[in-house]
Structure 1
Amino acid sequence: MTRFASEPAPSVVASPPVRDIARALVFDPAGRLLLIAYEAVRSIDPAAPDDRTFWFMPGGGLEPGESHVAACRRELEEEIGVADAPIGPLVATCDGPFHLFRTSRHARERYFVVRLPDDRIDTRRLAETEDNPVLGTRWWTLAELEATQERIEPAGLASLVRAVAGGTLPETPVVLTWHNPSQKG
């Protein structure tokens, strides 16, 4: 990979800093899930070193004194242009080192359900706040999510989406994990 002098080197540290994060499983009325495609700063699969695309839910880090719900609502306005989104229940967590963003972090992520009244989003401001290049957004059907060979983080998201889309909310948050480097979908 060619890096220009003005471009900072991706950082991977033995003990990355902890970052508390709120993310949303954003559903449209048709039950599709909104995901954002990013370009990883390092290879996500040693067998395919040029494949650097991964998909993630909207959301981001908490600001000082901010709750997860408030952060989720703020991030949805910043990333997809939805103000005052109705934040539903906490349905999953994913804690551990995450190395696909420019700055590695020990992510402590919390996932909330958000159901929008339609599929209209505005992503004009999305790239302004992101570490990594944003490649686009897409509404995914459950069948597409379950069948894809693309890298979707975290692992187990499709199973969670199947339950939530079907009206089953977990009694306690589901614990998800990050993919191993060679895992996809």
Structure 2
Amino acid sequence: MTVYTPRRAARVLLVDAAGRVLLFEGFDPARPGHRYWFTPGGGLDPAESPAAGAARELAEETGLRLDPAELGEPVWCDTTEFTFDGTWYRQEQDFFLFRVQSWQVDTTGFNDIEQRSIADHRWWLPAELAVSGERFYPPELPVLLTRLGQPTGAGQGEASC
């Protein structure tokens, strides 16, 4: 039986005016050949709200600084299980949608593990991602982005959590 480390996380679907989502290409240090694309975000600090964690992670990983209230409510929630650097995690995560005209990603805020396990970043159209043959998380991402469709307000989408 696998023993999982519980983890809470918050992630951001950062979408530009062209409808592209920002993803990072990373890999598990214990399995460097296992590459995948994922959204900005990460684990919550103790007692940190999902919106505060999402805003903090977005600033650290992209340089985009927001007030957590600007993220609104989560647009999607899920639970995932994965291994990273030899540890199995069961992660409950909230996804927030935030729209920007454009953004020049600044990764100077990466922590040590991010510097060692993130190889690249790229803006993806949902349809392009769906046919790319690349591994990405969450696997429902193209469908989720399509469902969220056009903006319903500044930085917010439909809540489904």
Aligned pair 1:133/2:120, yes or no? no
- Tell me the residue number matched to 1:9: none
Shift of 1:28: 1.0
Task: Give the letter aligned to residue 65 of structure 1.
Answer: A
- Identity, in percent, stands at 32
- Tell me the residue number matched to 2:15: 27
Shift of 1:40: 2.4
Shift of 1:127: 4.8
SS of residue paired to 1:83 = coil
Aligned pair 1:17/2:5, yes or no? yes
2-side partners of 1:171 and 1:21: how far apart?
17
Aligned pair 1:93/2:77, yes or no? yes
Q: Could you tell me whether the CA contact under 8 Å between 2:76 and 2:159 is conserved in 1?
A: no
Shift of 1:26: 0.6
SS of residue paired to 2:143 = helix
- Tell me the residue number matched to 1:73: 55
Aligned pair 1:160/2:144, yes or no? yes
- Tell me the residue number matched to 1:172: 160
SS of residue paired to 2:46 = coil
SS of residue paired to 2:93 = strand
Shift of 1:167: 4.5
Deviates further, 52-61 or 159-168: 159-168
Aligned pair 1:110/2:94, yes or no? yes
- TM-score under structure 2 length normalisation: 0.84
2-side partners of 1:147 and 1:166: how far apart?
21
- TM-score under structure 1 length normalisation: 0.74
2-side partners of 1:51 and 1:129: how far apart?
16
Q: Could you tell me whether the CA contact under 8 Å between 1:40 and 1:54 is conserved in 2?
A: no
Structure with higher strand content: 2
SS of residue paired to 2:73 = strand
Q: Could you tell me whether the CA contact under 8 Å between 1:40 and 1:132 is conserved in 2?
A: no
Instruction: Flag structure 1 segments of 5+ consecutive residues without an equivalent.
Output: 1-12, 44-49, 174-185
Counterpart selection for 1:36 from 7, 10, 24: 24
Shift of 1:64: 1.3
Deviates further, 101-110 or 61-70: 101-110
Following superposition of structure 1 onto structure 2, how do residues 141-152 of structure 1 map, counting pairs within 5 Å? 141-152=125-136
Task: Give the letter aligned to residue 40 of structure 1.
Answer: D
Q: Could you tell me whether the CA contact under 8 Å between 2:59 and 2:109 is conserved in 1?
A: no
Structure with higher helix content: 2
- Tell me the residue number matched to 1:62: 44
How many matched pairs? 154
SS of residue paired to 2:160 = coil
1-side partners of 2:42 and 2:7: how far apart?
9
Q: Could you tell me whether the CA contact under 8 Å between 1:95 and 1:109 is conserved in 2?
A: yes
- Alignment RMSD, CA only? 2.3
2-side partners of 1:125 and 1:171: how far apart?
29
